[in-house]
Amino acid sequence: MLHDLEPTLEALYERYRGLNTGSVATYIPELAKADPDRFCIAVRLVDGTGFAVGDSDARFTLQSCSKPLILAQALMTAGREIVIALTGVEPTGNSFSSMVGLDQVGKPLNPMVNAGAIVTASLLAGRTREDRFERMRRNLSAYLGTEAELDEAVYESERRTSDRNRALAYLLKSKGTIEGDVEDHLDLYIRQCAIGADTQQLADAAATLANNGVNPVTGQRAVDAEFVQDILVVMLMNGMYNYAGRWAYEVGIPAKSGVSGAIMAVVPGVMGIGVYSPRLDEYGNSTRGLAVCQALSRRFNLHILDQRTPD
């Protein structure tokens, strides 16, 4: 099925390295320092083989790519009923930091927008801030296949500028959707976004979901198999924000993007894809990342509703 995958990735890298539309996120000041030209595409097959083309040494923060992984941890901690009741699974036609829904019904539309992700972070267990972070960090390490590390500069930068997320969090608390110390939950959310990775590790995280919850390189289970479908559905419906419908139409595989310029995409039972390129479009999705995923999906008939056999 994936005949010629490696040369295809090389060709896509060459084809799109000149695509310079979009701009690097600046609303988190530290992200504005990213080199806009860095570009890497990586895959990890469920048999453990993988390769990366381009700037494989480029490091970035997970940002919203952490959201499906933290959703997974919340599902394992609080159970499906509570998580879905509190976060919802409906697509939103609004941006990732939208307040829509919070004022009237008091709950987010889904766990891939910031409000929903603050709810999932609030459900993570632990006695203290540090204890909760350590458990989260360990769980994220299972996806990345290496010790997950906090990027202190990005963490500090977002912490100082998170007025909007703070407002979302207090609104959620006022409606009883989150309980406990709002600042603790917000801090945990900001930390999950500031976990560092390279593109191969991002592909490994996606491959872990493609492999029913087990990291195909280390063999370590990151999430119980019973929750993988929940996560993939939420990613497919909501992972690309208000571009999700178009993404489902044109690419058709569960994915998640982050404002650092990362996209992780899951081809269930086959492989994980990671793309890093920090220039973003108007929705906050990496422009080269979108182009690469669209081309890969077409080339290999990856769309989950495509019933043709690949050439």
Q: Give catalytic residues, as residue numbers.
A: 64, 67, 189, 241, 259
Question: CB of residue 240 vs ligand GLN: minimum separation in angstroms?
Answer: 10
Q: Which is nearer to ligand GLN, 238 or 297 (CB)?
A: 238
Residues between 53 and 92 that touch ligand GLN (CB under 6 A): 63-64
Contacts of residue 144, defined as CB under 8 A and 6 or more positions apart, other chains included, come to 197, 201, 204, 205
CA distances for 270 relative to 44, 173, 188, angstroms: 9, 40, 32
The nearest distance, CB 165 to ligand GLN, in angstroms, is 5
**Consecutive H or E run containing 258:** strand 255-258
CB of 193 to ligand GLN, least distance (A): 4
Please tell me whether residue 115 binds ligand GLN under the rule CB under 6 A: no
x/- letters, 210..249, toward ligand GLN (CB under 6 A): ----------------------------------------
Cβ-closest residue to ligand GLN? Answer: 64
Based on C-alpha coordinates, what's the Rg of the chain?
A: 18
Residue linked to tokens 């409906």: 90
Q: Which residue has the tokens 């019973």?
A: 226
- Minimum distance between the CB of residue 97 and ligand GLN, rounded to whole angstroms? 6
**Type and span of the H or E element at 264:** strand 262-267
Minimum CB distance to ligand GLN smaller for 217 or for 293: 293
Whole-angstrom CA distances from 204 to 9, 15, 86, 113 are 16, 24, 29, 23
**Residues in touch with ligand GLN (CB under 6 A):** 63-64, 96-97, 114, 158, 165, 193, 258-259, 284
